[in-house]
Chains A and B, each alone.
With several copies, the nearest count.
Chain A
Amino acid sequence: MGMKKEGLKLFENGKRIDGRAYDELRPIKMEVGVLKRADGSCYLEWGGNKVLAAVYGPRECLPRHTQDPLKARINYRYNMAPFSTDERVRPGPSRRSIEISKLSKEALEHVIFTEYFPKTSIDIFVEILQADAGTRCAGLTAASLALADAGIPMKSLITACAAGKIDGKVVLDLGKLEDNFGEADLPIAYMPRTKELVYLQMDGDLTKDEFKEALRLALKGCDEIYRIQRDALKKAYEGEVNGR
């Protein structure tokens, strides 16, 4: 948020800079089971984002003193590949990636039946191979599918999406330019059935009404993405049934 844009129009004649309507998502596709070594995996493209999620576990939690005797320990590592952005990303965790990992882990911990697997860890790794805006939502959406692919029992899938504000207008799913020069960003994740939020952040500058409108749009985005998630799982399941 907050860079000066000097004359750049992000919203003009009812259209956004990439031609989308205010409530339109970027193109999204997902595929599960793309990695051989991982217990579950998902590849996701969302606009210019390319994201890979893998799940290992439940497996013995090591070192032992980190085990929880009553439930599985969830680890989540959001990581940007060095070549995923214009300026090369230094390998290793940053303050930003540590925060995203913490909040994403907590969102998933809410839906995983961790009490079924005491003393184990369930390790979720998300690699951002190419970054547009919205990588935390893309990562969490992919991670949720990778968990399903790994057969980890969950109360619910999780679906994530953001809304934001550009040129004073609340819109769905900010792209990279919109994110750089926009006025607000509201990434959320929800549980599709109850529409309760399990991930929630916001930064920028929103009135209460704008906030409500942004929430409404983000939830609408989640609804669409949830359909794509179900289709990806269905496709994988059919593949499996057909002996692929």
Chain B
Amino acid sequence: MVDENEIVWLVKKDAVADMIKNGKRSDGRKAYEYRPIEIITDYVKRAEGSAYIKLGNTQILVGVKMDVGQPYSDSPNMGTLITNAELVPLASPVFQPGPPNENAIELARVVDRGIRESKMIDFEKLCITEGEEVWNVLIDIHVLDFDGNLIDAATLAAVKALWTAKMPRYEDGKVIYEDKKDSLPVSKKPVACTFARFGNVSILDPSLEEEKSMDGKITITTTDDGKICAVQKSGITKISVPELENLIDVALEKGNEIRKTYLG
């Protein structure tokens, strides 16, 4: 049944989209402008690293935990990385309890890919004994308040948490969480830029209202050395090659700005 609310919503959705196609955003931002960003590191003491981020009204807490386990058989001298995202129902009326759905999985995988493919973590330095014991790095993305663009916020918080994390000591087969000192072997600072698509128009950092009206979105993750390390199109949208190339330019430029301001 198409109920009244749904019709109201379809009208509103079209209005938001029309405005954006005319170059306007309801909060007055420019097409390629981020909402205000606030980051607090070491938010959670039990984690090896953590960062709370507020991007507009989106709030996320990312924690980095480490433990020791076996390496994968095809990379016996490398530590491992697992990234997990929980869209806990505290953060939005539409999030449900239960195991991660396809949206949570996609979020975790896009963040993971940006970090992994940027090669910001030197996994060889996380090997303890080749073929036997390596450090596992576990990134948990805990969304607290959902107001759009989780990927960019979670990537930024995760990179910040990795840069500020301290490794626990490992002694006699036990991880000593009470004694953390060394930094993680990290270099590079990948930054994800997500563009919402309305027809052929793209805007950076969509708010929840914009996400509800958009056709889809494209995330481009870049690194300090001007390279692209991950791209993801999501939702029911198409893009032409010239427009994609344009967004890459924007992502490279905005990535540098974010790096300078928040990961400096």
Indicate if the CB atoms of B117 and A88 lie closer than 8 Å. no
- B102: nearest chain-A partner, CB-CB: A102
Indicate if the CB atoms of A82 and B99 lie closer than 8 Å. no
Which B residues lie within 8 Å of A37 (CB)?
Answer: 91-93, 145-147
Which A residues lie within 8 Å of B178 (CB)?
Answer: 86
Asked if B237 is an interface residue, CB under 8 A from chain A, the answer is yes
Q: How far is the CA of A70 from the CA of B50 in the complex (A)?
A: 44
Which residue of B2, B61, B117, B228 contacts A211 across the interface (Cβ within 8 Å)?
A: B228
Residues A195 and B117 in contact in the complex (CB < 8 Å), given A83-B140, A106-B236, A202-B231: no
Indicate if the CB atoms of A200 and B90 lie closer than 8 Å. no
Indicate if the CB atoms of A59 and B119 lie closer than 8 Å. no
- Interface-located stretch among B25-33, B41-49, B149-157: B41-49
Indicate if the CB atoms of A36 and B232 lie closer than 8 Å. no
Which has the most chain A C-beta neighbours within 10 Å: B232, B236, B238? B238
Which B residues lie within 8 Å of A50 (CB)?
Answer: 43-44
Which residue of B57, B117, B142, B240 contacts A82 across the interface (Cβ within 8 Å)?
A: B142
Residues A196 and B239 in contact in the complex (CB < 8 Å), given A52-B144, A84-B46: yes
Which A residues lie within 8 Å of B206 (CB)?
Answer: none
Indicate if the CB atoms of A99 and B106 lie closer than 8 Å. yes
Which residue of A81, A103, A126 contacts B140 across the interface (Cβ within 8 Å)?
A: A81
Question: Distance in Å from the Cβ of B60 to the closest Cβ of chain A?
Answer: 11
Query: What DSSP secondary structure best describes chain A's contact surface?
Result: mixed
Q: How far is the CA of A224 from the CA of B105 in the complex (A)?
A: 33
Indicate if the CB atoms of A205 and B88 lie closer than 8 Å. no
Q: Contact residue range for chain B?
A: 35 or more
Indicate if the CB atoms of A127 and B88 lie closer than 8 Å. yes
Asked if A239 is an interface residue, CB under 8 A from chain B, the answer is no
Indicate if the CB atoms of A2 and B241 lie closer than 8 Å. no
Which B residues lie within 8 Å of A205 (CB)?
Answer: 117, 119, 227-229
Indicate if the CB atoms of A82 and B44 lie closer than 8 Å. no
Which B residues lie within 8 Å of A208 (CB)?
Answer: 226, 228, 245, 248-249, 252
Indicate if the CB atoms of A82 and B227 lie closer than 8 Å. no
- Interface-located stretch among A10-18, A24-32, A90-98, A166-174: A90-98
- Interface positions of B from 89 to 117, Cβ below 8 Å from A: 89-93, 97, 99-100, 102, 105-106, 108-109, 113, 116-117
Question: Distance in Å from the Cβ of B181 to the closest Cβ of chain A?
Answer: 16
Question: Distance in Å from the Cβ of B248 to the closest Cβ of chain A?
Answer: 6
Question: Distance in Å from the Cβ of B169 to the closest Cβ of chain A?
Answer: 13
Which A residues lie within 8 Å of B65 (CB)?
Answer: 82-83, 88
Indicate if the CB atoms of A204 and B117 lie closer than 8 Å. yes
- A200: nearest chain-B partner, CB-CB: B233
Indicate if the CB atoms of B218 and A200 lie closer than 8 Å. yes
Asked if B244 is an interface residue, CB under 8 A from chain A, the answer is yes
Indicate if the CB atoms of A103 and B119 lie closer than 8 Å. no
Further pairs besides A81-B61, A197-B241: 14, Cβ < 8 Å = A2-B119, A35-B145, A37-B91, A56-B93, A82-B63, A82-B86, A83-B142, A86-B46, A98-B105, A127-B142, A130-B44, A197-B233, A212-B245, A215-B241
Going nearest first, the 9 A-B pairs with the smallest beta carbon separation are A83-B63, A202-B231, A125-B90, A200-B233, A83-B47, A86-B177, A82-B140, A196-B238, A54-B90
Binding site for B on A (CB under 8 A): 1-4, 35-38, 48, 50, 52-54, 56, 59, 69-70, 77, 79, 81-88, 91-92, 95-96, 98-99, 101-103, 106, 109-110, 123, 125-127, 129-131, 186, 191, 194-208, 211-212, 215, 219
